[in-house]
Chains A and B, each alone.
Chain A
């Protein structure tokens, strides 16, 4: 066993369940750019009425939920392409309609970005998927580890949830 044996995984953001599952499946957790697998977890932003949001607050949620994630994925893909190696990206966050309008915008954009990058980088052997869920436990960890492993070699551009309300 060990879906990720021999792979270096960079987990950005906080998810004890994903960290535990990556390690349990044999991944070496690294803190930085030299990785085969990139998992980015965005913390759910506070839920606030959209008409009470200032532009700076709105922008901060979009930066964290979308722009930063795109830039990280872009840098990851550039490195892997330069090395002539494939890889896997997984975006993790809250369900699209579960929080405020700021999050809805970021998560919707991220979902279609996932589908786009999955195809754009397909022939580089780089897969891109997303899990948008309110769950934080073992199922999320195991699903994340599976999706970034070679077992999911034919899964790319997939946006999935975990539970009923995702």
Chain B
């Protein structure tokens, strides 16, 4: 459900810095195709773009380690947004727009970059595997390209400033359809998205900073989501977690914060064999443990909820989540916090790693 964020960002492109940053996401998306329950996701078709929906993203995070066992992390996201519900045309008249975010968390700190491109001219895009024979998602020289007629195996290459990142991605498990067969409801009023994940990705590669190259290895998580109206009018933002636990389980959980405090909670509990159990509000206990003030790089300091406890009573799990570094703020057009988190069990023992995304705190 990092979705919204993305949307957000998308909608923002490259323009908006608003008092109500989520305004566009609450737009009913009239004229665009709407998300309906009962739609059957089909692959590889749905790996490709859905330009008749307003917003969409390909969102990869990875928790990596170097040879010394130090934690690293990366995020690479490509967002698509339709600027109008008109039929899609090619060339400079295209109504499609693209935005990409990339960030790395390194022992030296957190670095990020944001890019924009218009659709229809080849500067950015995502290909349909059926047409191309491989998967390709790119914006300028940032590129994800598979070597087969599937999302994986693939090579991901991008740069952030002087740092050059090259990764090999290999799926080690099945895709997971979130919500009900990929229909992911976001509010009681009916806002929803199509949402699937690939939480089983083996990642290997290197980051070169112009002087030295660091070999990295770890596990990644891909989220794919598209919609035309993902947010309800009374939703302020969200807190989203994707966790790789040391015992092989995976957890995705998010809450959409409501004005009245009755937040919308949802998630998926994925066992090591790939089986997933949908989590609903009753099955998730999400508790904020600590807020801390961080420097957000725009001459401001912001207070962000950085430590959490999540409990899944049905699965007898109690996990404590804290950031690897507090300073993982994305000072992008729409600012948000996204970064590597460490997971501990209720006895305080290391239990895994993951990514956390916090929006609506600006």
A, B assembled together: no
Which residues does B use to contact A, with CB under 8 Å?
A: none
Residues of A within 8 A of B (CB): none
